[in-house]
Amino acid sequence: MTIDEAQQLVSRGPYLNWLGLEVLDLGADTITVKAKWRPEWVANPTLGQTHGGILAALIDFAADFSLLNSLGHPVPTIDMRVDYHRLTKQCDLIAKGRVIKLGRQFSICEAQIFDGSNLLIASGRGAYITAPKES
């Protein structure tokens, strides 16, 4: 799959489109995207930090979409863990996902989120259903 084809998959989903995701790189078992910062991401106006739910969504997205070149399509999440490392404020974010184990029934993938200074903001790991679809 090409970067343009991956971008088309991302752009067709209203939520992913709202996140402002731009596919920067797509490898055999990796993906790197940029999420354009939005004012609606702010959890606490006093601190101005990005809401943890946005970070979790980016972790889930990047981990899931790291399977694109293995499967050709996104798959359902069956379990996910997110670790928050530091606050981030009003900046675009970079999400990097990679496949840890590609399995016949489910796969394990992880992702990391970085801020504009390349500091690790959040990381996580998920399990994704990769069993063939029943016809």
Cα–Cα distance, 133 to 65 (Å, whole number): 18
Query: Would you state the pLDDT for residue 69?
Result: 92
Query: Would you state the pLDDT for residue 95?
Result: 98
Query: Would you state the pLDDT for residue 99?
Result: 98
Q: Which amino acid is at 91?
A: C
Query: Would you state the pLDDT for residue 53?
Result: 95
Query: Would you state the pLDDT for residue 133?
Result: 72
Q: What is the pTM of this model?
A: 0.93
What topology is assigned to 3-129 in CATH?
Thiol Ester Dehydrase; Chain A (3.10.129)
Give the residue ranges of the chain where pLDDT is below 70.
134-135
Cα–Cα distance, 90 to 12 (Å, whole number): 25
- Alpha helix (H) ranges present in the chain? 3-12, 14-18, 52-65, 68-71
Query: Would you state the pLDDT for residue 84?
Result: 97
Query: Would you state the pLDDT for residue 135?
Result: 60
